[in-house]
Structure 1
């Protein structure tokens, strides 16, 4: 290869992931359009507000890598938040409340996994059904009303900090590191890739892949239960529609990050970038007073744009 060719190779635009282009472009757009967007306070606010979405997007990455989908995650998060709020208000115990929230998530994850792996129901259909069930239960347990009177020690989980670093950022960083190790440095992660890429190989190797698939959905449910703590602390209440629709943002972040819906190809760091991209977009649109309904449409358009860039890159490579 000539020196000229070598000098050109590192800067080819097709080599830049679509999510990186989208994130940089949005940051530049909102920096110009909205005064104060690049302030330290606002950037910190974006990171803190993105953590709940990150806790959903990390397990969603693994689920999508298995050629699956979990449409119930937002509704399960809502129900788990209500269970946590009701438990803490009635008992004064954060541990009991968190255990109840995680228990709700695990139960729905087990049901989702059983429907998909055990009954071979398509993930879209199975989790659409459990989404409706979770939404209905959320309305029943709350009687359609917000649960208020959340103790201060719960609110500290979201508003507190350690050495100046907000608690949510520390929690998000910890779980990101955990999922990175889980996917790239454990046998479990290897099996996850095979679930979406070559299930026959797992069967021949004697791996009970149906149990593995159930565990992936249960992991997603457990993470929704953990995210319920931050959701409740952030809102200072439990609300029957608090997280409805967050599964869309989680799927969008994973898709933006480059995780494929087939063949078990996933990228945890890409998911993190996708979460930040969605966070930047929502924050910038909020500063511009754009209605939430328009924000959802903008996120959809952003996903299409990023996937278009990645498709062009793959076509040229």
Structure 2
């Protein structure tokens, strides 16, 4: 084989992200090892179960691009779901419930952003504190019990279809396109990598970096509130511990997707592939009847493997 052909093949391999290699490998492994994995209902189930995670992972990508982190997003999603369920059950209005869930999410997002941007508290510490607050409030307002009696119109948000396509998948597509447009086609989107890569240049340009940072965290809270509608519809209840730990999956999906924790480098399509990789892994392990503790360990290995592949392909 000529040197030119070898170079061309090396170039093609170098352009394949680690998350794509991992996703294909997972699909092949579970197609062989997990009975029923390749059935259309199960693959549709993977997409459905990945929608909520995608709605958390997309804003997490932006937050990490600012060299930040949001450990509270799973607990905020849980609290928003409980509040949404309480309002819907008491008023019968899905819109009022959604508004309440969004208000909870945005409030926590603004608090997170304020703690990080204005008080200078490290994101890990700040969001760890709000994680505890959100988790505690979810238990208090629900009295530790599931909020049941969710109306059919709410449940149909998760189980219904439009034009033969599941509504959650449609919502996920719209949300992804919105984030793609925000990050790559707006002035605000250009500020986000600058927060992580060159904040001083942002300040010299006259941009209030603290406002942008608060807005990014507020957007994460907003998405947690929006995802609460899908979570409540999926469970037909508001459970005070429903989404605890989901922040780990969201961070894992972003990391697997190739977003760097420094210098403001991020890739939304990589996050989408990372979400699918995490969804495929959890689904396959569930079909193999492996316990949740093993699933968490496997997701950790997944992150390391994807980053390892990216490190290998980046070598000259």
Q: CA deviation at 1:11?
A: 3.6
The 3 A distance-change label for structure 1 pair 167 and 38 is same
Quote the Cα distance in structure 2 between the aligned partners of 1:132 and 1:2: 58
Name the counterpart of 1:276.
276
Name the counterpart of 2:65.
65
Q: CA deviation at 1:9?
A: 4.0
SS at match of 1:237: coil
Name the counterpart of 2:248.
248
SS at match of 1:272: helix
Q: CA deviation at 1:6?
A: 5.2
Q: CA deviation at 1:48?
A: 0.7
Name the counterpart of 2:40.
40
SS at match of 1:149: coil
Quote the Cα distance in structure 2 between the aligned partners of 1:4 and 1:277: 31
Query: Could you list the runs of 5+ residues in structure 2 that have no partner in the other structure?
Result: none
Name the counterpart of 1:113.
113
Name the counterpart of 1:160.
160
Quote the Cα distance in structure 1 between the aligned partners of 2:19 and 2:6: 26
Name the counterpart of 2:9.
8
Name the counterpart of 2:94.
94
**Please, what is the CA RMSD of the aligned residues?**
1.1
Name the counterpart of 2:191.
191
Q: CA deviation at 1:312?
A: 1.8
Q: CA deviation at 1:8?
A: 2.9
With normalisation by structure 1, the TM-score equals 0.97
Q: CA deviation at 1:309?
A: 1.1
Quote the Cα distance in structure 2 between the aligned partners of 1:255 and 1:166: 28
Query: Which string of whole-angstrom CA distances, capped at 9 and with x for unpartnered residues, describes residues 112-159 of structure 1?
Result: 000000000000000000000000000000000000000000000000
With normalisation by structure 2, the TM-score equals 0.98
Quote the Cα distance in structure 2 between the aligned partners of 1:293 and 1:213: 34
Q: Which aligned runs of 4 or more in structure 1 are off by greater than 6 angstroms?
A: none
Query: Which string of whole-angstrom CA distances, capped at 9 and with x for unpartnered residues, describes residues 92-124 of structure 1?
Result: 000000000000000000100000000000000
Query: Could you list the runs of 5+ residues in structure 1 that have no partner in the other structure?
Result: none
Q: CA deviation at 1:35?
A: 1.9
